[in-house]
Chain A
Amino acid sequence: MEPVLRINNLQVTYYTDAGRARALDGVSLTLNAGEKLGLVGESGSGKSTMALAMMHMIKPPGRIEEGQVIVGDTDLTTLTKEEMLKARLEKITYIPQGAMNSLNPVMRIGAQMVDAIKAHYKSPSKAEMAEMSMDSLESVDLDRSVFKMYPHELSGGMKQRVCIAIGILLKPQVIIADEPTSALDVVTQRQVMETIDRVQETLGAAIILIGHDMGLMAQFVDKVAVMYTGRLMELSTVREMFTNPQHPYAQALISSLPSLDNKGVFQGIPGLAPALLRLPSGCAFHPRCQHTTEICTTMLPRLEQMEGGRMVACHLYTEQV
Chain B
Amino acid sequence: MPELLEFRNVTKTFFRRGWFTTQPGTTALNNLSLKVNESNSTILTVAGESGSGKTTLAMLLLGFITPTSGQILYRGKDINSLKGAERMIFRREVQAVFQDPFAVFNPFYHVDHLLSVPIKRFKLAHSKKEMREKMFEALSAVGLHPQDILGRFPHQLSGGQRQRINVARALLLRPKILVADEPVSMVDASLRANILEVLSSLKKDYGVTIIYITHDLTTAYHISKSIIVLYRGTVMEAGDVDTVINAPQHPYTRLLIDSIPWPDLNRRWGETEIKAEEAELGENNGGCKFLSRCPFATKKCKTPPPLYLMSDLQAASCYLFDQNAQIESERLSELLPV
Contact = CB atoms under 8 A, between A and B. Distances in A.
A86 to B, nearest CB: 35
The 5 closest A-B pairs by CB, nearest first: A215-B261, A268-B193, A268-B194, A266-B197, A185-B49
B328 interface: no
Contact of B218 (A157, A217, A258): A258
Interface residues of B, number: 43
Nearest to A45: B188
18 contacts: A155-B278, A156-B50, A186-B217, A187-B49, A188-B50, A194-B276, A214-B263, A218-B261, A242-B265, A256-B192, A257-B189, A258-B218, A258-B263, A265-B222, A266-B193, A266-B196, A269-B191, A272-B158
A264 interface: yes
A310 interface: no
> Is chain A's binding surface mostly helix, strand, loop or mixed?
helix
Contact of A260 (B49, B246, B256, B265): B246
Contacts of B221: 258, 260, 263
Interface of A: 42-43, 155-158, 184-191, 193-194, 212-220, 238-239, 242-243, 252-254, 256-260, 263-269, 272
Find the residue from B188, B189, B246, B276 having the highest chain A CB count within 10 A.
B189
A37 B218 CA distance: 24
A268 B191 contact: yes
Contacts of B265: 218, 238-239, 242-243
Interface string B154-192: 000011110000000000000000000000000011111
A157 B261 CA distance: 17
B255 interface: yes
Interface in B47-81: 49-50
Contacts of B194: 266, 268
Interface in B241-264: 242, 245-246, 255-256, 259-264
A253 B190 contact: yes
Nearest to B194: A268
A14 to B, nearest CB: 17
B222 A256 contact: no
Contacts of A217: 263
A187 B190 CA distance: 23
B262 A268 contact: no
Given A42-B188, A42-B190, 13 more contacts: A42-B191, A157-B278, A186-B260, A188-B276, A189-B261, A190-B259, A190-B270, A193-B261, A194-B276, A213-B261, A214-B189, A218-B262, A269-B190
A266 B223 CA distance: 9
B263 A259 contact: yes
Contacts of A188: 49-50, 276, 278
B281 interface: yes
B278 A216 contact: no
B152 interface: no
A314 to B, nearest CB: 18
A215 B217 CA distance: 12
Given A191-B278, A266-B193, A266-B197, A43 B222 contact: no
A130 B248 CA distance: 44
A241 B338 CA distance: 37
A239 B190 CA distance: 20
B184 to A, nearest CB: 11
A239 B242 CA distance: 28
A186 B193 contact: no
A57 B232 CA distance: 41
A212 B255 CA distance: 23
B159 A187 contact: no
Contacts of A218: 261-265
B314 interface: no
Nearest to A186: B259
B49 A186 contact: yes
A178 to B, nearest CB: 15
B189 A187 contact: no
Nearest to B258: A190
Nearest to B252: A187
B269 interface: yes
B215 interface: yes
Interface string B207-221: 000000001111101
B205 interface: no
B49 A266 contact: no
A185 B182 CA distance: 11
B273 interface: no
A267 B223 CA distance: 13
B317 interface: no
A191 B226 CA distance: 28
Contacts of A259: 218, 262-264
A28 B246 CA distance: 42
A243 B266 CA distance: 11
